[in-house]
Amino acid sequence: MSLHILLIDDDETSIFIHKTLVETSALSLDPLCFSSSAATLDYLEKHHRTGDRYVLLLDINMPVIDGWAFMDAIQQKPYADALFILIVTSSIDRADRKRASEYKQVIEYFEKPLDIDHCIQTIQQNII
């Protein structure tokens, strides 16, 4: 059984910052980075193995397939229960926070910048 960290954000600066935080925290030495939800879905379809678990740091405001559409798309996938989503967004809208809580895979909602200590604590409490 493996735990994989996936970073999904269309903003290169956010990806760089979050990747650096994840790597220096020893949460993962090699987080996978995606600039689109479509690329993430493609990766999961091709690489998911039974027993693998995935922590996704997901931005909700992205072009083409936003975070909401991504979460809708995964609901019927065979690997849906292996996904643990941490929303990482610039949105401070309470409606977004409420909407995120309606997805069973969402375990936390972070406003940017990511608080890596809180992130680790959330992962330890919910997954490890």
The pLDDT tens digits of the residues spanning 76-93 come to: 999 999 999 999 999 999
- Cβ-contact 84, 126 below 8 angstroms: yes
Would you call 67 exposed, middle or buried from its count of C-beta atoms within 10 A (0-12, 13-18, 19+)?
Answer: buried
Buried/exposed code over 16-48 (b: 16+ C-beta within 10 A; e: otherwise): ebbbebbeeeebbeebbbbbbbeebbebbeeeb
What domains does the chain contain, in order, with CATH numbers?
3-126 (3.40.50.2300)
pLDDT of 71 > 80? The answer is yes
Mean pLDDT over each residue of the chain, to the nearest integer? 95
pLDDT of 61 > 90? The answer is yes
Residue 74 confidence (pLDDT): 97
The predicted-structure confidence for 8-51, as pLDDT tens digits, reads as follows 999 999 999 999 999 999 888 899 999 999 999 999 999 999 99
